[in-house]
């Protein structure tokens, strides 16, 4: 089994020059999906695909080039997107029974931007139902598997997208982040994943889970693949009023910049005594490389980090309980047979939602209910402000980026985490960035027991370029050691 080596940039260049037909690349992607068994009998990473539409899109790329149009940065490059991102020719089910058969009448802005850049959307990927999970085990379509060890999870909730990149089917994929759902699967699968600043990328067409936390994120096999993908989808969108009118940097251009003058913070709360010593060692080895490249490493403190999981698991379910109220059998997906309206709502939702989604809707409804709102929801929003101010304080003191482990463990076996809160702790190092709205990126920095370990780079609002600058440097400095 050989993983295709051409990068997204190289594929786009070959397609633009006409040395490789995009249709051939698309066929290779489908052949690779068959080779690794990306469907339900294997990795269960891809839920839907549309070969005819993909080949049609590849022919359009050729035709546009023939007409003299400038090829986009992803010309003819196959891409997969998470199943909670609206597409026109394939279902958008969010990995849920309640949206079975639902095909969106509109397209997500990120998908439109990918297609405008020449990308070919070849499939939709498996995910934890409504993005609620950290392992892609909570899917109505069954768990996805990690291509590096199919007995283990690929991480979640965007595990299907991560698995498709790690398995060599595509170089670029879209996921979504609410508490770490791109970075953690990227770490578990040994690839790159970036969560942009809140407002950096349009959420139009991303099915809402927790609207103050959600962002579309990008997976890449390499830092460059992810940088190109984010550059394509970033920027203001008139259909999402929370998308920001802030100029989009050339993230790929940061690859050539030195690290002299860059101050990197090592927050002590992300390296607790309980952290696996081998993960700590991989992180410190990466930091040492950054020091050798001219960066200054400074020990810093983010004192409210241990409050992130309780805070996140109040705010996110609260918002989810509101957002998911729309799925009641009237406007979307399946409808239970019933003779009374309230009975129809309850039956549709009870049979349509899986166990984790039901649990979070109940939890969210409880913390918003009379008598508990102030104690839980309001308190969590106040603590969220403290967590955000932790980051602001270190950035105000001259720290450019922070470097931490992405997850406290490597990929765990399927079925290993039965206790809900134990699963929630998988997000312990990632949820903080979502709560603060800052950008963060995970990239491979080595292996433990043969399983990938991710290092996380976090930065100021809209400072994605600084993240990529450091990530390119780590990737270059570690070389093959990042995958050993």
Partner 1 sequence: MSVTENEVRHVAVLARLGLDADQIPTIAAELNGILAHMEILSRVDTSAVGAVTGIGAAGTPLRVDGGNQIPLVRPREAFAPAMRDGFLLVPRLATHEDQDAESP
Q: Which residues bind partner 1 (CB under 8 A)?
A: 88, 105-107, 197-199, 212, 238-239, 241-242, 244, 304, 306-307, 309-311, 313-314, 321, 325, 328, 330, 335, 337-347, 349-350, 353, 358-359, 361-363, 365-366, 369, 372, 375-376, 378-386, 388-389, 419-421, 424, 436-437, 461
Parallel/antiparallel/unpaired status of strands 172-177 and 78-82:
parallel
| SS3 state of residue 23 | helix
| Nearest residue to 190 (alpha-carbon basis) of 215, 143, 226, 154 | 154
For partner 1, the closer of residues 416 and 481 by Cβ is 416
For partner 1, the closer of residues 87 and 125 by Cβ is 87
Tell me how far apart the alpha carbons of residues 298 and 296 are, in angstroms, rounded to a whole number.
6
Catalytic residue among 96, 104, 135, 157: 157
Give 286's contacts (C-beta < 8 A, 6+ positions apart): 403, 445, 446, 455, 474, 477, 478
- CB of 438: closest distance to partner 1 in angstroms? 9
For partner 1, the closer of residues 260 and 337 by Cβ is 337
For partner 1, the closer of residues 83 and 390 by Cβ is 390
- CB of 389: closest distance to partner 1 in angstroms? 7
3-state DSSP of 120-155: EEEEEECCCHHHCCCCCCCCCCCCCCECCECCECCC
| SS3 state of residue 430 | coil
| SS3 state of residue 101 | coil
- CB of 48: closest distance to partner 1 in angstroms? 18
- CB of 339: closest distance to partner 1 in angstroms? 5
Q: Is 82 marked active-site?
A: yes
Catalytic residue among 96, 104, 181, 202: 181
- CB of 57: closest distance to partner 1 in angstroms? 15
- CB of 7: closest distance to partner 1 in angstroms? 32
For partner 1, the closer of residues 113 and 461 by Cβ is 461
Q: How many residues does the chain have?
A: 484
Helical axes 22-35 vs 8-17, angle rounded to 10°: 140
Residue with structure tokens 């409880």? Answer: 366
Tell me how far apart the alpha carbons of residues 119 and 231 are, in angstroms, rounded to a whole number.
13
Beta bridge partners of 177: 215
Q: Is 181 marked active-site?
A: yes
- CB of 228: closest distance to partner 1 in angstroms? 25
**128 with 356: CB under 8 angstroms?**
yes
- CB of 313: closest distance to partner 1 in angstroms? 7
**206 with 84: CB under 8 angstroms?**
yes
Q: Is 301 marked active-site?
A: no
Beta bridge partners of 459: 401
- Cα 200 to the center of its chain, rounded Å: 14
Backbone φ and ψ for 325, nearest 5 degrees, come out as: -65, -20
- Tell me 88's DSSP state: S
For partner 1, the closer of residues 54 and 482 by Cβ is 54
Report in angstroms the alpha-carbon separations of 368 from 208, 232, 376, 377, 386.
Answer: 18, 38, 8, 6, 21
Catalytic residue among 82, 124, 195, 417: 82
| SS3 state of residue 376 | helix
For partner 1, the closer of residues 146 and 323 by Cβ is 323
For partner 1, the closer of residues 73 and 205 by Cβ is 205
Instruction: Return the active site residues.
Output: 82, 157, 181
């Amino acid at each position: 089994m050989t993983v295709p080596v051409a990068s997204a940039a190289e594929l786009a260049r070959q397609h633009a020059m006409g040395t490789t037909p995009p249709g051939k690349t698309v066929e290779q992607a489908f052949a690779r999906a068959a080779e690794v068994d990306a469907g339900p009998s294997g990795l269960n990473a891809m839920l839907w695909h549309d070969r005819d539409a993909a080949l049609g899109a590849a022919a359009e790329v050729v035709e546009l080039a023939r007409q003299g149009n400038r090829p986009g940065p992803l010309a003819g490059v196959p891409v997969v997107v998470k199943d909670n991102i609206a597409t026109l020719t394939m279902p958008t089910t969010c990995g849920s029974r309640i949206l079975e058969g639902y095909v969106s009448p509109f397209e997500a802005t990120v998908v439109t931007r990918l297609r405008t850049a020449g990308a070919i959307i070849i499939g939709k990927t498996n995910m934890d139902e409504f993005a609620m999970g950290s392992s892609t085990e909570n899917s109505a379509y069954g768990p996805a598997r990690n291509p590096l060890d199919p007995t283990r999870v690929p991480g979640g909730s965007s595990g299907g997208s991560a698995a498709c990149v790690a398995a060599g089917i595509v170089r670029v994929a879209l996921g979504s982040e609410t508490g770490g759902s791109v970075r953690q699967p990227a770490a578990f699968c040994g690839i790159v994943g970036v969560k942009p600043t809140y407002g950096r990328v349009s959420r139009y067409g991303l099915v809402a889970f927790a609207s103050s936390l959600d962002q579309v994120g990008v997976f890449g096999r390499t830092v460059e693949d992810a940088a190109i993908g984010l550059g394509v989808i970033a920027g203001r969108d008139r259909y999402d009023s929370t998308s920001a009118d802030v100029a989009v940097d050339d993230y790929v251009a940061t690859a050539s910049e030195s690290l002299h003058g860059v101050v990197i913070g090592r927050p002590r709360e992300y390296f607790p005594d309980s952290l696996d010593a081998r993960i700590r060692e991989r992180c410190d080895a990466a930091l040492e490389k950054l020091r050798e490249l001219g960066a200054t490493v400074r020990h810093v403190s983010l004192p409210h980090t241990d409050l992130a999981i309780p805070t996140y698991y109040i705010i996110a379910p609260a918002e989810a309980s509101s957002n998911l109220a729309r799925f009641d059998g009237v406007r979307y997906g399946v409808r239970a047979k019933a003779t009374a309206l309230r009975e129809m709502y309850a039956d549709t939702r009870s049979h349509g939602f899986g166990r984790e989604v039901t649990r979070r809707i109940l939890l969210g409804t409880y913390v918003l209910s009379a008598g508990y709102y102030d104690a839980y929801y309001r308190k969590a929003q106040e603590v969220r402000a403290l967590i955000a101010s932790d980051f602001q304080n270190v950035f105000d003191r001259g720290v450019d980026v922070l470097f931490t482990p992405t997850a406290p463990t490597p990929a765990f076996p399927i079925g290993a985490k039965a206790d809900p809160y134990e699963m929630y702790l998988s997000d312990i190092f990632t949820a903080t960035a979502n709560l603060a709205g800052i950008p963060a990126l995970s990239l491979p920095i080595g292996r433990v027991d043969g399983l990938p370990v991710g290092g996380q780079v976090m930065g100021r609002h809209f400072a994605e370029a600084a993240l990529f600058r450091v990530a390119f440097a780590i990737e270059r400095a570690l070389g093959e050691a990042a995958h050993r």
